[in-house]
Amino acid sequence: MFGYRVPAPDEAMLISGGTRGMGAAPFRVVTGHGAFVLPVFRKTRFLTLAMCEAEVDETCVTHQGIALTVRAVIAFKVGNDKESIVNAGQRFLSDQDQMSVLTGRIFAGHLRSIIGSMTVEEIVTERQKLATEVLETSKAEMGTIGLTVDSLQIQSIDDGQTGYIAAMAAPHQAAIQRQAAIAQAQATQASAQAQQEADRNQAEYARQTAVVRAQYSAEVDRAQAQAAQAGPLAQAHATHEVLIAQTELAQRAAELRQQQLVAEVVKPAEAEAERIRVLATAEANRMKIQAEAASSYDRVALDRMLIDQLPQIVKEAAAGLAGANVNVLNGADGLGEIAAGLVGQGLTILDSVRQNLGPAQGRTEPEGRRPERDEHREGPIEIE
């Protein structure tokens, strides 16, 4: 917008012209926001608030009269408050590079003053103390011109060709070198001891390794010997076990074969023999029964036939008596006796026939046995 100006974040806008609101300051300070500036009637300038740097390379004389060249770097800037901006603006607004030049000169003067009151040993060994004293003594003067110091770093201290610092450092260097030599000797000794210990350990390890290897070799040899010896024994034992197993297998096979023969041959043969025996016994019993039945039947049939023929036999005998001269004694009793005699003769004939036919029917009679006569018959029967 026309007439509206805005300063950068690291700048302060200084507006000059007019008298309202400025007070004792010759210009109005604007930071962090913009402002309307009337052209022609107002003038605007910008003052940097960024960090600046100044270097110091100054030859200073110590309290001992020894010249030292000191190099330092100062980091500074314009203060953020309005008073510092006004002070810095009044001094450096037209040539802001002069801030570094003036700061370097201010610090060089304070540095010479402070180093002149210190010894080389203090300056070398207490460098931070030197920087702190320089900052403290320059703070008020820097504030007057609107500047603030953030840090002071002393980069180097050089005594030129005098060699004082080197001489001062010599005892320390000698002590350090001595300590370094002692440390080196101790390190060498420790290294030697460590090497010796390592050698001993290595030798012990080699010895133990050799022992272990020897023991291992002996164990291996013994194991191989046992294995070599155990081989035939194991083979013999295995062969023995195989023979036992084969024998048991053969016995088992024989038993099975015997059982098979019994089952296939003996048992069927015994069964067949038993069948034949039973059949033969049954056949013999059948034939015996048939023979007995036939014999009994023949005897019964013969007896029946003879009995049937008995009347005819008696009739024929009587017929033979009809022409005979028979004297009958005892009257009727004698006649009865004659009839009884005829019947007895018929029975005798019947018995004789039966006996003669008996052997043919399976009957046996003792030798010399004859049919017995009827002993109860009284009186002879005479036939003429």
DSSP string for 325-368: -----STHHHHHHHHHHHHHHHHHHHHHHHHHHTGGGT----TT
CA-CA distance, 302 to 305, in Å (whole number)?
Answer: 5
CA-CA distance, 76 to 279, in Å (whole number)?
Answer: 150
Q: Is the pLDDT of residue 73 over 90?
A: yes
Question: Do 106 and 66 belong together in one domain?
Answer: yes
Asked whether residue 111 is assigned to any structural domain, the reply reads yes
> What's the pLDDT band for 317 if we cut at 50, 70, 90?
low
Distances 193 to 188, 198, 273, 301 between C-alpha atoms, Å: 8, 8, 110, 149
Number of domains in the chain: 2
CB 158: neighbour CB atoms within 10 A?
A: 13
Question: Do 59 and 155 belong together in one domain?
Answer: yes
Q: Residue 62 burial (CB < 10 Å; 0-12/13-18/19+)?
A: buried
Task: Give the CATH number, domain containing residue 62.
Answer: 3.30.479.30
Q: Is the pLDDT of residue 2 over 70?
A: no
**Under a CB-based contact definition with an 8 Å cutoff, are residues 13 and 29 in contact?**
yes
User: DSSP 3-state assignment of 110?
Assistant: helix
Question: Do 16 and 118 belong together in one domain?
Answer: no
CA-CA distance, 238 to 290, in Å (whole number)?
Answer: 74
Asked whether residue 17 is assigned to any structural domain, the reply reads yes
Q: Is the pLDDT of residue 22 over 60?
A: no
CA-CA distance, 6 to 27, in Å (whole number)?
Answer: 16
Question: Do 6 and 103 belong together in one domain?
Answer: no
Q: Is the pLDDT of residue 236 over 90?
A: no
More confident of the two residues 313 and 154: 154
Question: Do 13 and 95 belong together in one domain?
Answer: no
- What is the pLDDT at residue 302? 61
Last residue of a domain, one of 109, 136, 166: 166
Range of the domain at 115: 53-166
Question: Do 152 and 85 belong together in one domain?
Answer: yes
Question: Do 60 and 40 belong together in one domain?
Answer: no
Computed over its alpha carbons, how large is the radius of gyration of the chain?
Answer: 86
Report for 26-30, 79-83, 216-220, 224-228: range of highest mean pLDDT: 79-83
Asked whether residue 334 is assigned to any structural domain, the reply reads no
pLDDT in tens, 268-280: 777 777 778 888 8
Asked whether residue 270 is assigned to any structural domain, the reply reads no
Bridge pairing between strands 28-30 and 11-16: antiparallel
Q: In what order do the strands lie in the sheet with 43-48?
A: 28-30, 11-16, 43-48
Asked whether residue 89 is assigned to any structural domain, the reply reads yes
Which residues are CB-contacts of 56 (< 8 A; sequence separation ≥ 6)?
Answer: 70, 71, 72, 73, 74, 104, 107, 108, 111
Report for 9-23, 29-43, 123-137: range of highest mean pLDDT: 123-137
Question: Do 60 and 24 belong together in one domain?
Answer: no
Give the helix/strand (H/E) hosting 67: strand 67-78
What is the residue-averaged pLDDT of the chain? 77
> What's the pLDDT band for 74 if we cut at 50, 70, 90?
very high
Last residue of a domain, one of 118, 135, 166: 166
CA-CA distance, 84 to 142, in Å (whole number)?
Answer: 10
Asked whether residue 276 is assigned to any structural domain, the reply reads no
Asked whether residue 179 is assigned to any structural domain, the reply reads no
Asked whether residue 204 is assigned to any structural domain, the reply reads no
Report for 169-178, 180-189, 281-290: range of highest mean pLDDT: 180-189
Question: Do 74 and 91 belong together in one domain?
Answer: yes
CA-CA distance, 263 to 261, in Å (whole number)?
Answer: 5
- What is the pLDDT at residue 319? 63
Report for 67-71, 224-228, 305-309, 322-326: range of highest mean pLDDT: 67-71
Bridge pairing between strands 4-5 and 35-36: antiparallel
What pTM, to 2 d.p., does this model score? 0.43
Q: Residue 86 burial (CB < 10 Å; 0-12/13-18/19+)?
A: buried
- What is the pLDDT at residue 322? 55
Last residue of a domain, one of 50, 66, 88: 50
Distances 149 to 78, 237, 269, 314 between C-alpha atoms, Å: 9, 105, 139, 199
Q: Which of 195-199, 337-341, 355-359, 361-365 is predicted least confidently?
A: 361-365
Q: Is the pLDDT of residue 127 over 70?
A: yes
User: DSSP 3-state assignment of 4?
Assistant: strand
CB 336: neighbour CB atoms within 10 A?
A: 12
- What is the pLDDT at residue 327? 53
Question: Do 159 and 148 belong together in one domain?
Answer: yes
Question: Do 33 and 112 belong together in one domain?
Answer: no
- Which phi and psi angles does 277 have, rounded to 5°? -60, -45
Question: Do 8 and 110 belong together in one domain?
Answer: no
| Mean pLDDT value of segment 339-365 | 60
Q: Is the pLDDT of residue 75 over 90?
A: yes
